[in-house]
Amino acid sequence: MSKPAVRAQDLLVGYGGAPVCAPVTFTLGPGKAVALVGANGSGKSTVLRAVIGLLEPTSGKLQVLGDEVDERDVSFRRQVASVLDDDAYFPALTVHEHLYLTARGHGVLGADALVGELLEEFGLTEHARSLPVALSSGQRRRLLLAAGFVRPRSLLVLDEPEQRLDRAMRDRLAARLVAEKRAGGSVLLATHDPDLVTAVADRAVHVADDVTRVLAPAEAAALISRENP
Ligand SMILES: Nc1ncnc2c1ncn2[C@@H]1O[C@H](COP(=O)(O)OP(=O)(O)OP(=O)(O)O)[C@@H](O)[C@H]1O
C-alpha cells in the first residue's frame, strides 16, 4: 500500500520557538485532499511551510511520503510541488520561459508540450511572451499556479490558491484538483473558499489557538461561511 502523503502527529509549528497554533494531527492519503481552514493568522501557512521543509517544526512528528522532510533532497522536490508565495516568479523571464525553466529544472520530459497545455488551461496562451510585470494580478496568480502544475509531484501543496482568481478560474482549478486526486495525487491546501473545500477536500483541519479539529468538508465550508458572513 502507498504511504500517506502527509502524516502529522501533534505537530507544533511557530517562529522562534513560540507556537502559532495548537498542535495539528492529520493524515493525508494518496488520492485525497485535506484543506486547512481557519481565521487570518491562525497558522495555516506556517503548517504548510513545515510540510514543505521551509520551517523546522517546534515539536511533534511530521512525515511526508513516508520520510522525514528534507527539501534539499532532489527526490523530495520532485515529489512535492508547492505554490505558496505571491511573488515567486522570475521578473526577467516571460510566462513561457518561467514555466519551461521550472519544468526542465525538475527534470520533466516533454516540457514543451506540457507548458503549452498549461498555458491553455490557465488562460495564459496569449500572454506566453509577456513578462510578469505586464500581467494583471490574477494572471500572475495563474502563472504561479501553472508553475506548480508543471512540476512532477505526488503531493501538491497550495496556499490559498483561490486568491485573485475569478469564478470561472476557481471552478477550473477545483476541477483540476479533483483530476489530480483521481490520478492518485494528494493535495494539501489552505483556503478561505468554502466552495473549494466542498468540491475538493475529503477532510478539513480547523487550525486555531486552542485546539485544532478535523472536520468534514461540509462542516468546514459552513465554518468559513460563518466566519466570513
Ligand atoms: N516569518 C514570521 N515570523 C514570525 N511570525 C510570523 C512569521 N510569519 C507569520 N507569522 C505569524 O504567525 C501567525 C500565523 O501566520 P500564518 O501566515 O501561518 O497564518 P494563516 O492562517 O496562513 O493566515 P492567513 O489566513 O491570513 O493567510 C501570525 O500571527 C503571523 O503574524
Give the residue extent of every domain in the chain.
1-79+154-229, 89-152
Ligand 1 centroid – CA 41 distance (Å)? 5
Report the pocket of ligand 1 as residue ranges, CB < 6 Å. 15, 20, 38, 40-46, 190
Q: For each of the chain's 229 residues, which pLDDT tens digit applies?
A: 578 999 999 999 999 989 999 999 999 999 999 999 999 999 999 999 999 999 999 999 999 999 999 888 888 888 999 999 777 888 899 999 999 999 999 999 999 999 999 999 999 999 999 999 999 999 999 999 999 999 999 999 999 999 999 999 999 999 999 999 999 999 999 999 999 999 999 999 999 999 999 999 999 999 998 887 6
For residues 24 and 49, the answer to whether their CB atoms sit within 8 Å is no
Q: Report DSSP letters for 147-214, one per residue.
A: HHHTS--SEEEEESTTTT--HHHHHHHHHHHHHHHHTT-EEEEE-S-HHHHHHH-SEEEE--SS--EE
Nearest CA to ligand 1 atom 30: 41
To test the pocket of ligand 1, the residue of 20, 197, 228 to mutate (highest count of ligand atoms within 8 Å of its CB) is: 20
Residue reference for cell 494531527: 25
Domain 1-79+154-229 top-level CATH class: alpha beta
For residues 188 and 157, the answer to whether their CB atoms sit within 8 Å is yes
Question: How far is the C-alpha of 228 from the C-alpha of 106, rounded, in Å?
Answer: 39
Question: What pLDDT, on a 0 to 100 scale, did the predictor assign at position 229?
Answer: 67
123 contact partners, CB below 8 Å, separation of at least 6: 139, 142, 169
For residues 51 and 62, the answer to whether their CB atoms sit within 8 Å is yes
Question: How far is the C-alpha of 19 from the C-alpha of 33, rounded, in Å?
Answer: 25
For residues 68 and 116, the answer to whether their CB atoms sit within 8 Å is no
Half-sphere exposure of 202 (CA within 13 A, CB side): 16
Three cell numbers written together for 14: 511557530
Question: What pLDDT, on a 0 to 100 scale, did the predictor assign at position 1?
Answer: 58
Question: How far is the C-alpha of 62 from the C-alpha of 120, rounded, in Å?
Answer: 37
Nearest CA to ligand 1 atom 16: 43
CA 205 from chain center: how many Å? Answer: 15
Ligand 1 centroid – CA 179 distance (Å)? 30
Question: What pLDDT, on a 0 to 100 scale, did the predictor assign at position 2?
Answer: 77
